[in-house]
Homo-oligomer: A and B are copies of this chain.
Amino acid sequence: MPIFPAPRIQALLEEAFANAGTPRDIAGYVASSLVDSSLKGVDSHGVMRVVKYINEIESGWIHPDARPDVIQETGTMAVVRGNRGFGIHALGYAVDLAIEKVLANQVAAVGLVDTTHTGRLGWYGEKAAENNTMLIIAGGGHSGTATSGRWVAPYGGAERVLSTNPYVFGLPGGKFGSMVVDFATSAVGEGKLQIYRGEHKPLEPGWIQDREGHPSTNVEDFYAGGALLPMAGHKGYGLSVFAELLGSALLGTAHTMNWMVLALNISAFTPVTEYQQRAESFLQKLKVIHPAEGFKEVMFPGEPEAKSAKQRSIQGIVIPDETWESMKQAIQKVGVHTESMVSQEEKS
């Protein structure tokens, strides 16, 4: 399998998006987020997404040259319209706007509508934490669209109505880095089912039900019209309904997933140095705990990703052969040469 240093694959993706009609700054921003996800070990939201994004540009879904604009604004809130440009850039824009607002007004809420795939949510939580800003993002609104992405049954229901309506929660953790947790409100994502399907493995109980609403561990029951179940039963269901109301009722009739960004300036409550000291003192207590059965150590929220990034930024990003083939095709389609991309592995 080819292995690439992060800067080289980033340059390649930036070139591909730019060649497909994306302004250079947006192309670079999107490429950074994808490479960051791959470095952090979240391959599902990593560099392989270039294939999907270029297909979506070709199909007319993503408007590569669109820039977000602000359609409603006060000192503490805004609604950003993504104009169906790159969602990663649009949500980054909304988060930056929220961070700017909390500097002046302590707290802010920024909505994002009319956008496309927004990438890995942890990315935004980390950006905010680095700016001493608390961040919560919730995404919802698919219930108002066609069936695409509606995979999750409500708690106690036998049909797919909800999307995986995800959240991110982030705060700084002093010397321990950003404390960020992002998750789907379903028990698992559909991507995991694909992996189990490929490996012909039974699913864990509580992940899916069949089309009649019977619990199942057979992945084929999902693809025959079954549904993902909410995480933690009624709790995940409640979070999903909350996100859906934000996306489809508060931010308007959704044609896409809509997003709500909530931000808070830490220094409005306490001096940042004091916050950091107290955060570190709490986090230190977690670090010294003996591991439970099956674990090597207690990790912070976001620590597995940080560990992966440390390793992969040295060793490079491994891309499975098949994935690299489809990436090459997509990239060549927009007129970018990949011949110069000899991987470290191929060289050695």
Q: Which residues of A contact B (CB under 8 A)?
A: 72, 74-77, 79, 105-109, 111, 134, 136, 143-144, 153-159, 161, 169-171, 173, 179-181, 183, 187, 209, 212-215, 231-232, 234-239, 241-242, 244-246, 248-253, 262, 264, 266, 268-270, 275-276, 278-279, 282, 285-286, 289-293, 295, 297-301
List the B side residues contacting A291 at CB < 8 Å: 156-158, 213
Residue of B nearest to A289 (CB): B157
Assess whether A278 is in contact with B262, with CB atoms less than 8 Å apart: no
21 pairs, CB–CB < 8 Å, chain A vs chain B: A74-B106, A77-B264, A77-B268, A107-B107, A109-B264, A153-B289, A153-B292, A154-B286, A156-B295, A158-B293, A171-B242, A173-B245, A179-B241, A179-B242, A183-B238, A213-B290, A214-B293, A241-B301, A249-B275, A250-B275, A251-B270
List the B side residues contacting A179 at CB < 8 Å: 238, 241-242, 245
Assess whether B136 is in contact with A136, with CB atoms less than 8 Å apart: yes
Partner of A245, one of B157, B282, B298: B282
Question: With A242-B171, A269-B250, A270-B252 in contact, is A282–B231 under 8 Å at CB?
Answer: no
Assess whether B158 is in contact with A289, with CB atoms less than 8 Å apart: yes
- The copy count of this chain in the complex is 2
Extra A-B contacts (9), CB below 8 Å, given A77-B107, A157-B292? A72-B269, A74-B105, A157-B286, A169-B242, A181-B235, A232-B235, A232-B236, A251-B270, A262-B262
